[in-house]
């Protein structure tokens, strides 16, 4: 009987691990959606004010985010998992001998584990696909944000250069200079001095 009891515990342990894995994927999928729901609005807000090139390229990460959310939601959908024999079978097993009960429990847990594998494989595949897609979408989004910063800096640099050029051009214009006027071209004040008369002119 010890061998059967060991197998009962072993199949129970395997089935519990399987169920824990299923619940863990649910929890991680929820966290992934939470991260996307925080990052996505910030990205859209920044891209909305970006250059047209960045806005055009942002279609790709937005599509990836949409696909990722669709896949992750599929992971969160409830799936019926087997966990052993039904409680109703207790009435049938109560009059059976101990060995038959152990064998029945081993068989129920084994078959439950086998049938659950298909569901868990699909769930794991969808979760991994959603995780990879989300990471790629975030990576592309970050690259686009850095690209937007670079473009803004380039535009700012060009504007500064244009302003400097305008200032240089205006400052390089020829300045007007007041020339020195010779004495013969200047009018003199004759106060206290007898004015000169032209030769030959009678007083």
Contact indicator for 129, 67 with CB cutoff of 8 Å: no
- If DSSP codes are grouped into helix, strand and coil, which group holds residue 187? coil
Question: 26-51 burial, b for 16+ CB within 10 Å, e for fewer?
Answer: beebeebbeebeebbeebeebbeebe
pLDDT at 2: 77
Could you give the C-alpha distances from 131 to 118, 167, 190, 191, in angstroms and in order? 20, 54, 102, 103
Q: Does the model's pTM come out above 0.95?
A: no
pLDDT at 95: 77
E strand or H helix that includes residue 36:
helix 2-48
| Vertex 191 angle, CA 187 and 195, to 5° | 75
Q: For the chain, how long is the longest CA-to-CA vector?
A: 166
User: With 0-12 CB in 10 A as exposed, 13-18 as middle and 19+ as buried, what is 61?
Assistant: buried
pLDDT at 136: 93
Q: Which residues of the chain have pLDDT under 50?
A: 201-203
pLDDT at 135: 92
pLDDT at 199: 54
Contact indicator for 106, 10 with CB cutoff of 8 Å: no
Q: How far apart are the first and last CA of the chain?
A: 162
């Amino acid at each position: 009987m010890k061998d059967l009891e060991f197998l009962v515990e072993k199949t129970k342990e395997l089935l519990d691990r399987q169920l824990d894995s299923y619940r863990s994927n649910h929890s991680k999928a929820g966290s992934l959606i939470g991260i996307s729901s925080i990052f996505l609005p910030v990205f859209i807000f920044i891209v909305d004010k970006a250059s047209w090139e960045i806005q055009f390229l942002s279609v790709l990460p937005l599509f990836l985010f949409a696909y990722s959310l669709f896949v992750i939601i599929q992971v969160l959908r409830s799936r019926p998992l087997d966990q052993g024999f039904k409680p109703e079978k207790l009435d049938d097993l109560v009059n059976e001998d101990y060995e038959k009960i152990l064998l029945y429990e081993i068989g129920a847990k084994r078959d439950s584990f086998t049938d659950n594998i298909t569901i868990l494989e699909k769930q794991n595949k969808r979760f991994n696909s959603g995780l990879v897609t989300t990471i790629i979408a975030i990576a592309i989004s970050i690259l686009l944000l850095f690209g937007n910063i670079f473009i803004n800096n380039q535009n700012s640099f060009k504007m500064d250069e244009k302003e400097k050029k305008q200032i240089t051009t205006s400052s390089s214009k020829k300045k007007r200079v007041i020339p020195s006027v010779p004495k013969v071209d200047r009018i003199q004040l004759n106060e206290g001095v007898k004015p000169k008369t032209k030769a030959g002119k009678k007083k």
